[in-house]
Amino acid sequence: MTTNKGSAEAPRPRSSQPWLNQQGTEIQEFGTVRQLPVVLSYNTRMNSCQRLNQVLSDTQILHSLYKKHHWLVRGQTFYQMHLLLDKHAGEQAALIDSIAERVQTLGGVAVGDPRHTAEITNIPRAPDGVEEVPAMLSRLLAAHETILTECHDAAEQAAEMGDDGTNDLLVSEVIRTNELQAWFLSEHLVDTPLVHT
């Protein structure tokens, strides 16, 4: 490849070697929003991003609890619970992606680092070890309730501020998924015989 003698920049040689140990500067701080052409005011987008990041951090913790309990569940219903908890974890993972993408769509910065998530979640930390199955299910139900409480309030506020997209996400995806999962878990805590004698 030839270059003009007056050119100040020589071409880079091609190489398959990765450029390792790259350093960069933070180009957008957490808690800020960029202006994007989504026809929503700065205050609306800022409010929605803050509310969504709270739901996002709690949802990431709930997802982790589902995976933990999926691995550690025991007893006679192990197989059924093992599969159910993993199914719910997968559904929560899909919600995590949807919520994070909504934050980004509004010009915000989605909470993504697990250490940051742990700092801002409203869901209490579970013991490091194994709990009995009813305690695991109760812990998951309490986490669902925390998320549902936040979502109902955030959805109402988003609607009042004209953020239909955030309202729709919270109602159609997050609330409905969490309500359904809470129902499934609750039914496993009902003490009823399999048959009447």
What is the tens place of the pLDDT at every residue in 9-20? 777 788 889 989
Give the pLDDT confidence of 33-85 residue by residue, as tens digits. 999 999 999 999 999 999 999 999 999 999 999 999 999 999 999 999 999 99
Q: Is the pLDDT of residue 195 over 80?
A: no
**Token reading at 39:** 């026809």
User: What amino acid occupies position 52?
Assistant: L
CA distances from 143 to 18, 27, 52 (A): 42, 33, 16
CA 44 to chain centre: 21
Q: Which two tokens stand for residue 140?
A: 């998951």
Q: What is the mean pLDDT of residues 167-192?
A: 95
Rounded to two decimals, the pTM is 0.89
% of the chain residues with pLDDT over 90? 85
Token digits for 43?
């205050």
Domains and CATH numbers, the chain: 42-187 (1.20.1260.10)
Cβ-proximal residues to 84 (8 Å cutoff; 6+ apart), any chain: 184
Burial 154-163 (b: 16+ CB within 10 A, else e): bbebbeebeb
pLDDT at 187: 94
Spatial distance between the Cα atoms of 35 and 124, rounded to a whole number of angstroms:
35
